[in-house]
Amino acid sequence: MAYGHETGYSEISDDAVKNLIKKGKAVLVDVRTAEEYEKDHINGAISIPYTEIYDLAEKTIPDKNTKVIVYCSNGGRSIIAARRFAVLGYKNIYDLGGFQDFKDKIEK
């Protein structure tokens, strides 16, 4: 399911995420709670809980042209987060959905 311009964000494949992160061309954002992030998260991800995006996004990621990849546990909160980034004017937002496919890249 691709979303595109009408929603302000797009889906992205696992391989594309790994490529962008490896090249340092994107910011990976864990939008779960701080407690969930502390338990486990994808290597290199920063924590901006979806409930705090309006307060923290512009301070944390000031360049709205930055490629922002959001993820959560199962995909529900990442959709909300992607929409919130779009409302704030971010131009390159990608929804990874849930992070189960990245278990080999998770920090504990």
| Other residues' Cβ atoms within 10 Å of the Cβ of residue 68 | 25
Q: Angle at the Cα of 88 (from 86 to 89), degrees rounded to 5?
A: 65
Distance CA 14, CA 102 (A): 8
Q: Residue 59: which of 82, 88, 83 has the closest Cα?
A: 88
Q: Residue 57: which of 38, 80, 39, 23 has the closest Cα?
A: 80
Catalytic residue among 72, 79, 81, 82: 72
Q: Known catalytic residue: 72?
A: yes
Which positions are annotated as active-site residues?
72
